[in-house]
Amino acid sequence: MDIQTKKGLLDVVVLSTLIKGDSYGYKIVQEVSRVVDISESTLYPILRRLEAAAALTTYSVEHRGRLRKYYKLTNEGYGKVKLFIEDWDEIKRVYNFIVANARGKWRQ
Amino acid sequence: MNKAEFIKALDIELARFDASEKKEILAYYNELIDEKIERGYSEAQAVASIGKIKDVSAGIKADLVNIRLTKRSSLSKISNSFWMLILVLFASPILLPVGIAFLAIFFSVSVTLLSLVLGFGLGAVVTAVAAIPIVIKAYANLGIGGAILVSGVILVVIAAFALLALVIFRVTIDLLKAIVTGLVKIIKKKSK
């Protein structure tokens, strides 16, 4: 996938994995990897950015003698996911427009 | 490479980062490696799976530039928002008095605190210069032991001066930053 497209999508993908419950770094990478190729080092800045944007909050829980950092979706974060879903009709229109233009080229 | 070596190397690689951000990053990778080991990776495999340290830090640096995190931006950031503020405040007749008050506060705070910094800094230098004859006298009267003792005391005084100057300098920067960002926030809120 194109880097810019992926970047825009990843924020929403990451947030959407938190809808069913709070999660931690390793698990989020696993979940997201099911749909988009992502590395741990790509995830870190996304999480920080989303935290700075108040789309998620964090808290730490003790796990086997160490701390595990959990990420929790906020209302703002949920709003971003909802917005993306609601945007779908528009995205589809743009996609169809692009495809139609590309078809012109294919016919030649 | 084991986990400790990896974290140490990443720590060095991120030397330019803001201390609290660096702590977050190191904790993140520490946790990831632990999670992998818990799931059956060997320590070396877990570390290797993270990738090259250069790539890790390059990715973080590229992505974090937008989030006020690197150490260096602090001063240039103040000056950027400072000039933006001046422009905004002096462009509007309603905000003009606010602008004048802001400038007055900004300069009185910076002049007061920076003169303190200068004072303590000078104190350190003056102490160092004044120390030379004192140490020579102590050597003449009390011998080498006395000279070392006196130099020790003087070094502590110099260090105290230098430390004070440094601390006040940091406080000044933070305070000015707080004044500028506080005002920016208020204006943004009001203009909504």
Residues B6 and B90 in one domain: no
Relative to beta strand A23-24, strand A56-63 is: unpaired
Residue of A11, A40, A51, A62 best to disrupt the B interface, most CBs of B under 10 A: A40
Residues 6+ apart with CB under 8 A from B148: none
Residues B31 and B108 in one domain: no
pLDDT at B70: 45
Set of chain A residues whose Cβ sits within 8 Å of the Cβ of B27: 67, 69
Tell me which of B68-77, B82-91, B158-167 is least confident: B68-77
* Contact: A49, B59; criterion CB under 8 Å: no
In angstroms, the CA B30 to CA B24 distance is 10
Residues B16 and B94 in one domain: no
Set of chain A residues whose Cβ sits within 8 Å of the Cβ of B25: 44
Q: Top-level CATH class of A3-102?
A: mainly alpha
Token digits for B129? 């210069």
Whether the CB of B38 is below 8 Å from some CB of chain A: the reply is: yes
Residues B74 and B17 in one domain: no
* Contact: B25, A68; criterion CB under 8 Å: no
pLDDT at B152 over 50: yes
CA distance A70 to chain B (A): 11
The complex's ipTM? Answer: 0.87
pLDDT at B69 over 50: no
CA distance A72 to chain B (A): 16
Whether the CB of A6 is below 8 Å from some CB of chain B: the reply is: no
Residues B28 and B67 in one domain: no
Set of chain B residues whose Cβ sits within 8 Å of the Cβ of A44: 25, 28, 59-60
Structural domains counted in chain B: 2
pLDDT at B51: 87
Rounded to 5°, the CA angle B40-B45-B49 comes to 110
B57 inside domain = no
Whether the CB of B63 is below 8 Å from some CB of chain A: the reply is: yes
> What range defines the domain where residue B150 resides?
62-192
In angstroms, the CA B172 to CA B110 distance is 7
Residues B15 and B80 in one domain: no
Residues B46 and B81 in one domain: no
- For residue B51, the surrounding DSSP H or E stretch is none
pLDDT at A88 over 50: yes
Residues B12 and B90 in one domain: no
pTM: 0.56
B10 inside domain = yes
Condensed to tens digits (0 to 9), the pLDDT of residues B18-36 reads 888 889 999 999 999 999 9
User: Where is pLDDT greater, at B136 or A57?
Assistant: A57
Set of chain A residues whose Cβ sits within 8 Å of the Cβ of B50: 40-41
Residues B86 and B163 in one domain: yes
Tell me the pLDDT of chain B averaged across its residues: 84
Q: Where are the domains of chain A?
A: 3-102
Whether the CB of A67 is below 8 Å from some CB of chain B: the reply is: yes
* Contact: A25, B31; criterion CB under 8 Å: yes
Condensed to tens digits (0 to 9), the pLDDT of residues B73-128 reads 556 666 777 777 787 777 777 778 888 888 888 888 889 888 988 998 898 899 88
Res. B71 pLDDT band, cuts 50 70 90: very low
- What burial letters (b/e) apply to B94-104, b meaning 16+ CB within 10 Å? ebeebbeebee
User: Where is pLDDT greater, at B16 or A21?
Assistant: A21
Whether the CB of A61 is below 8 Å from some CB of chain B: the reply is: no
User: Where is pLDDT greater, at A71 or B148?
Assistant: A71
Condensed to tens digits (0 to 9), the pLDDT of residues A66-87 reads 999 999 999 999 999 999 999 9
Q: According to DSSP H, which parts of B51-95 are helical?
A: 53-64, 73-91
Q: What is the arithmetic mean of pLDDT over B65-71? A: 49
- For residue B183, the surrounding DSSP H or E stretch is helix B96-191
pLDDT at A81: 95
What is the residue whose two structure tokens read 């920076």? Answer: B114
* Contact: B60, A45; criterion CB under 8 Å: yes
Question: What is the percent of chain B with per-residue pLDDT over 70, rounded to a whole number?
Answer: 91
pLDDT at B74: 56
B56 inside domain = no
* Contact: B51, A69; criterion CB under 8 Å: no
Residues B118 and B166 in one domain: yes
Tell me the pLDDT of chain A averaged across its residues: 91
